[in-house]
Amino acid sequence: MKKNPLKLNKLQLKTLTLLQELAKSPNTSTLDEETGGVSITNFPDPHGNHFHIGSKVVMAADATGFRNEGVWQTLHRKGLAKATYPVVIILNKDGLAYDTGMYDKILHGSDH
């Protein structure tokens, strides 16, 4: 399978990676069992230069796409999500499964 077949840019890939991680937690998302989509409405707030998603640490600089309407619209247009900026983004099965190649680059183990 071709790497990044939808030609997402780096910011879009980072944002999708973080959304995929948020989709794993009931604290930040809600699963629609009928469609398999996951609604994300609870975005973490940074403290200092980072924030936490579960046991992972993310640099705030890697999450600027959370507050970027253009990123949300692109994920919607490319068929990975349904976006109602800035309230909710719903990752569909394709969005949840898309291999961004960014997981190990922006999600780090937590030491606290």
User: Which residues have CB under 8 Å from 100's CB, separation 6+?
Assistant: 4, 8, 13, 14, 16, 17, 20
Domain range list for the chain: 10-109
Residue 74 pLDDT greater than 90, yes or no: yes
CATH number for the region 10-109 comes to 1.10.10
Q: What is the reported pLDDT for 1?
A: 65
* Single pTM value for the model: 0.94
Q: What is the reported pLDDT for 2?
A: 78
